[in-house]
Amino acid sequence: MEFLKFIFSLGVVIAIFGFIWGLLNIGYSLLRGQNKNIGETYLLKGLKYFFMVNVIFLFCYESNNYTTNQLIISALILLTYFLGKLQNQQQKKQLFKFVANGMPLMNTQFNLKAEISIIAFSLLSFVLFFFYPQFANSNFSVWMFKSINSINGTPIFGFIFKIIGAFFIWSIFSKMLNSFSILATKKSFESNEPLNERKDNDDFDDYEEVK
């Protein structure tokens, strides 16, 4: 039960963090304008991922049953979340390319190397916080963490984000299971492929003999 409770609470924290960061991003866009270059886009995304990792570490560190296993589970969930975002961006780029049919009608501002770099940087930051917890206590991260706890403690918003957090964790587990299923299916297909090819060739030879 403690494990499920921790996973559920982690989903709520990530959901509320996304909500607060979305509000901050809207405010920044109103001041800055919508025309962001790709460098600015990935700078903001890198900050988002970094502070998300920071807040998640504070959540683990401040919990009463703080263990290394919690940090490992949190790191796996964050990795799955980041890779899911990366996959969505790739699919969106392919969709826009198909709709535009080679014409520059839509700008997705997607760069695979930049995506992988900020994911690696964020996860390395999580490892750094593990060895040097004092680095996680920045003013913005502490403020974000306290704001998340305040929102989570309210009756209405807390209930709403608990529902969102439950769906978030379900989607994370679904992605993990799908990844394992794809890997297992791929290995099974590769091991059976030569046999199937020989079978297909034999059937074709029999057909030729009848002709």
Q: What pLDDT digit, counting tens, does each position of 15-25 carry?
A: 999 999 999 99
Residue 95 main-chain phi, psi, to 5 deg: -65, -45
Provide the number of structural domains found in the chain: 1
Phi-psi region of 50 (alpha: psi -120 to 50; beta: other; left: phi over 0): alpha
With beta carbons less than 8 A apart as the criterion, state whether 158 and 13 touch: no
Instruction: Give residue 162's domain range.
Output: 2-210
- Predicted confidence (pLDDT) per residue in 34-61, tens digit: 677 888 889 999 999 999 999 999 998 8
Cα distance between residue 52 and residue 144, in whole Å = 9
CA torsion 61-66-72-76 (nearest 10°) is -70
Phi-psi region of 95 (alpha: psi -120 to 50; beta: other; left: phi over 0): alpha
DSSP 136-188: G--HHHHHHHHHHHHHHHSHHHHHHHHHHHHHHHHHHHHHHHHHHHHHHHHHH
Q: What is the DSSP letter of 103?
A: S
Residue 87 or 198, more confident:
87
- pTM (predicted TM-score): 0.78
Confidence of residue 185 (pLDDT cuts 50, 70, 90): low
- Distance CA(109)–CA(106), nearest Å, equals 9
